[in-house]
Amino acid sequence: MPAVLFVCTANRFRSPIAAAAFQKKLRDAGIEGWQVGSAGAWTDPGLPPARDAVQAARQLGVSLDGHASCLVNAALLSGYDLILVMEMGHKEALESEFPAVHNRVFVLSEVVDGMLYDIPDPALSEESSLQEIANEVCNLVRKGFRSICSQADRLSRARNSTKPA
């Protein structure tokens, strides 16, 4: 079954919300067996989601219960078919540090809208409110659900066809 990983900077706001929204869409569609996770490109492992993320997610109908930050590493990335990042800088960093994931890393906006643009980091954004950023993340996941599923399924099939029997 396909596996999708959402990645942001600290894994305390954008990527956990995206993963929770995607899991909810899978449940609502009756799709089972998919692996969905989130991680941070530059984080300390084991941190809870930001308080603002929990509140924003709740207002959007998703839960971050049980989430703890997770740092991206080669072993983690090897378990995912599709890796969706929030910013072009995340994509560049992952592809540079982990060349094996080059054809599996995409900016979320790229898969959903066919355009490359960053989803602002709430810790750095002066233009967007936390709720606006959470809304953007959830809306992209909801709007792009079929595209994300299709891309993950295609990559999963490709990876499984190249694995030795």
Which regions of 77-133 does DSSP assign to beta strands (E)? 82-85, 105-107
> 81: closest CA among 162, 1, 9?
1
Binning pLDDT at 50, 70 and 90, where does residue 129 land?
confident
User: Structure pTM?
Assistant: 0.95
Which regions of 48-115 does DSSP assign to beta strands (E)? 82-85, 105-107
Mean pLDDT of 147-156: 97
pLDDT of residue 160: 86
pLDDT of residue 136: 95
- The residue range of the domain holding 53 is 3-162
The enclosing domain of 114 has a CATH number of 3.40.50.2300
Mean pLDDT of 13-26: 97
Domain count, the chain: 1
Kindly state the DSSP code that residue 71 receives in the 8-state scheme: B
For the chain, give the mean pLDDT.
Answer: 94
Mean pLDDT of 35-39: 98
Q: Cα separation of 107 and 90, whole Å?
A: 8
